[in-house]
Chain A
Amino acid sequence: MFIHNFKYALKTLFRNKMLIFWTFAFPIILGTFFNMAFSDIEKSEKLDIIDIAIVETDEFKNNEIFKESFKELSNKKNKDRLFNTKYVEESEAKELLKSNKITGYLLLKDTPKVVVTTSGINETILKYVTEEIKQTEKIVENLAQSEIKKEVEKKNYNIDYDQIYNKVLEITKDSDANIKNITSHNLSYTMIEFYTLIAMACLYGGILGMVAINQNLANMSSNGKRVSVAPTSKGKLILSSVLASYITQLIGIFLLFIYTIFALKVDYGNNLALVILLATVGSFAGLSLGVAVACLFKANDNVKTGIVISITMFGCFLSGMMGITMKYIIDKNIPIINKLNPANMITDGFYSLYYYDTLDRFYFNVVSLLIFAFLMIAISMFSLRRQKYDSI
């Protein structure tokens, strides 16, 4: 009987087009949209080469430090290249700026002046570099002065300026800061979007469980009435239906994983076994949510689907699907909400696998999901037991 019911539950689920759309196709479609929209976001946040112009004033032509510095910073072979520089007349620079071909231009008279259209990051960088060069000029000046002073103090009035110049250059060399970057490599925050997508798919799977349960409830469908009067144990029937929907759900998640990994190149970290563990546990949590909704609410299929979808979408919203910062805001300010939110447990589990080296946070999430799932199942069992109908 178990296998018989299992087989037919599986068949009914797969033949329900709406169900298959929401649990199989919709996450894949949404994932494709995410990929199209977000694939370039992080790339464009990296520093690009900035188009600028320099007005060729006499002061600029005579100023070695400025001339050489900008030449070096615009050098195509330099790996730290910052600028793509055009050397032009002032009128032309204005024209270029007006037509948005350059970020800004440098006008070197007595003091350097940067002309830009708005405030912004590229503009700020141009300003910074200009200042840095000006400051280098100042350093050389200060150093030369203090060297000359030292010579004077030594009562050496016969100053060799070439020697001082070389000495100053020597000092300014090898003064680079000793900075070591210790950032983890996995910093791609758009991954969170895809993790919420998996979370959504896991929880949407609850609809499958819900439909399967409804097939067995006498007050829900005529099919349920027929099943209820059959001389078979309820436990067996419900267990086989739920198992069928769990397997359907896992197939859906598996397809989604294949798609996101191979087509969308989503990075789930290196530990595949743990990814699978999280996905199975997450689906289980989704299933239990669906079962609980099916048992607790006395309403028709559509309303129950609506409830599962709203819970899922709200959970995903809090875990960052509609804006990644949302997850952070909740995590930072009201962490208890996301600790209770199954969508976030799944998202956060993937995030900790991806970003953290340690697994504490990951296991915390897995255990939370299991607790959530068993709680839901306990509630459902409680409400399903000893149901009797005098009339329906």
Chain B
Amino acid sequence: MTVFRTFLKVLNKCKTPIIMYTVFLIFFGGFNIQTSDNSTNFTASKPDILIINKDCEKGITKNLIHYIEKNSNIIDIENKEEKINDALFYRDVNYIIYIPDHFREDFLNHKNPKIEVKSTGDYQASLAEMMLERYMKIANTYNKNLSSEKKIIKNIDDTLSKQAKVEITSKLDTDHLEKATFYYNFTNYCLLAGCIYVICLILSSFKNEHIQKRTIISSMNYKEYNRKLLLSNSLFSIVLWLFYVLLSFILLGNIMFTLHGLIYIINSFVFTLCALTLAFLLGNLVSNKNAINGIVNVIALGSSFLCGAFVPMEYLPNSVLTIAHILPSYWFIKTNELLKTIESFNLETIKPIILNMAVIVIFTIIFVVITNIISSKKRKIN
């Protein structure tokens, strides 16, 4: 009990960083996990478009704006060039359309007026450009053939109303699963940083020369002391894990009560054990309290960035992912990403998940073995 009580005392001293990591998790998690209604109907992606209309809103101009409005999210931004440019840079809008002065007049006089655009050059912008190009192409075509503006507009509307049927085959709740994956990927950072920081700090407190000497002469068996220390540390890790799991129930809701949710939880548990043993290893290696902060940041941030905890795996360059194979976080996050795509669980779909978990367990064993080797060597020196 003495060991455990001391453990709690030291733990109480380092609550600030734990609270900080948790706040990060809630903040970023909550930021991205605003649940929206999921539907199994097809919803077309809508690019964010800003229209700067220098012409009056009549006739063909009005119709063009109306068409763009219907198929995109119109973003309202103060009409100042600097604000508009900022919005484009930070991808608040994907595409900006400047409708020139006398657009309608020039169009009807067959001048094919020039439309200036600004584009972020990404998927959404390409889609917006397709939309604008299509409209203008149709309008120009009818303009050659028909005389009155009314007729042109009617024909444009008639043509654009021809749509394709879309059928969705998957009944997977991808929206919620994606959020769950994002959340659990982020816990990679929180669990690693939390475990390493706290356990290293606690171990280094216990390794203080005076305290160590005092412990050695005490009546408590050396092994028992060690076992209790390990137990308290695992208890801490599990409490931390439980806390994040509970938080996920609050933030993610129903999706956690499914089989998918269960596997997210099991996966994170396996990873927590791995983080615990890694922290134990580091705690045995490092005795300088000041160095802990640096190590936590390098290891937790490093494996989070390399393995796709912050930036989704699909965006990472292949070379980085290849390096990431040597980190346990990679296998943890890989399972989370896999879960997102699995529709039904059977032996075939669950096999890669079990394989990933096995790799994490192997890492755990390796960490334990190395810790034992190091601590036994250190004891000999003493």
- Residues of A bordering B, CB below 8 Å: 18, 21-22, 26, 29-30, 33-34, 36-42, 44-47, 94, 97-98, 100, 111-121, 123-125, 127-132, 134-135, 137-139, 142-143, 146-147, 171-172, 175-184, 187, 189, 322-325, 327-328, 331-332, 351, 355-356, 361
Contact = CB atoms under 8 A, between A and B. Distances in A.
A116 B140 contact: no
Contacts of A120: 45
24 contacts: A29-B298, A33-B305, A34-B305, A36-B305, A36-B316, A37-B320, A40-B315, A112-B165, A116-B42, A116-B168, A118-B170, A131-B163, A134-B164, A135-B162, A171-B141, A177-B112, A177-B133, A177-B135, A177-B140, A183-B121, A189-B91, A332-B86, A351-B89, A356-B82
Contact of A138 (B140, B159, B169): B159
A177 B166 contact: no
Given A177-B140, A323-B28, A131 B164 contact: yes
B83 to A, nearest CB: 8
Contacts of A29: 298, 302
B141 to A, nearest CB: 4
Interface string B106-129: 000000111111111111101101
A118 B162 contact: no
B166 A127 contact: yes
B122 to A, nearest CB: 4
Given A33-B301, A37-B306, A183-B120, 14 more contacts: A18-B291, A21-B294, A26-B294, A38-B311, A123-B42, A123-B45, A128-B44, A128-B131, A142-B142, A178-B113, A179-B114, A180-B117, A182-B117, A187-B120
* Interface SS of chain B: helix
Q: Which of B98, B123, B124 has the most CB of A within 10 A?
A: B123
B126 to A, nearest CB: 5
B92 A146 contact: no
B168 A119 contact: yes
B150 interface: no
B123 A135 contact: no
Contact of B162 (A38, A116, A138): A138
Q: Which of B31, B89, B301 has the most CB of A within 10 A?
A: B89
A21 B28 CA distance: 28
A47 B316 contact: no
B158 interface: yes
Contacts of B297: 26
B316 A119 contact: no
A117 B169 contact: yes
B137 interface: yes
Contacts of B133: 176-177, 179
Given A36-B316, A119-B168, A132-B134, A124 B44 contact: yes
Given A139-B159, A171-B145, A114 B306 contact: no
A47 B123 contact: yes
What 5 A-B pairs are tightest by C-beta distance, nearest first?
Answer: A177-B136, A328-B90, A175-B140, A45-B122, A33-B305
B134 A135 contact: yes
B316 A37 contact: yes
Contact of B115 (A36, A45, A117, A180): A180
B341 A328 contact: no
Interface string B135-167: 111101110111000000001001110111111
* Interface SS of chain A: helix
B45 A187 contact: no
Contact of A331 (B86, B119, B138, B301): B86
Interface residues of B, number: 81
A36 B320 contact: yes
B132 A177 contact: yes
B31 to A, nearest CB: 8
Contacts of B42: 116, 119, 123, 127
Q: Which of B87, B124, B170, B315 has the most CB of A within 10 A?
A: B315
B127 A125 contact: yes
A125 B141 CA distance: 23
Contacts of A123: 42, 45, 166
Interface string B291-324: 1001001100110011000110011110010000
Given A33-B302, A45-B122, A179-B133, A118 B155 contact: no
Contact of A119 (B44, B86, B115, B142): B44
B43 interface: yes
Contacts of A322: 24, 28
Contacts of A40: 315-317
Contacts of A22: 294
A37 to B, nearest CB: 4
Interface in B8-62: 24, 28, 31, 42-45
B286 to A, nearest CB: 13
Contacts of A147: 145
A128 B123 contact: no
Interface string B237-251: 000000000000000
A182 B97 CA distance: 10
A184 B119 CA distance: 9
Contacts of A114: 164-167
A139 B241 CA distance: 61
B122 A139 contact: no
Nearest to B118: A183
Nearest to B144: A171
A345 to B, nearest CB: 16
B356 interface: no
A322 B189 CA distance: 13
Contacts of B90: 189, 324-325, 327-328
A322 B92 CA distance: 17
Contacts of B155: 142
B382 interface: no
A41 B314 CA distance: 9
Nearest to B170: A117
A17 to B, nearest CB: 9
A45 B136 CA distance: 26
Given A37-B310, A121-B123, A180-B116, A187 B89 contact: yes
B339 to A, nearest CB: 15
Given A116-B168, A143-B145, A44 B315 contact: yes
Contacts of B112: 177-178
A245 to B, nearest CB: 19
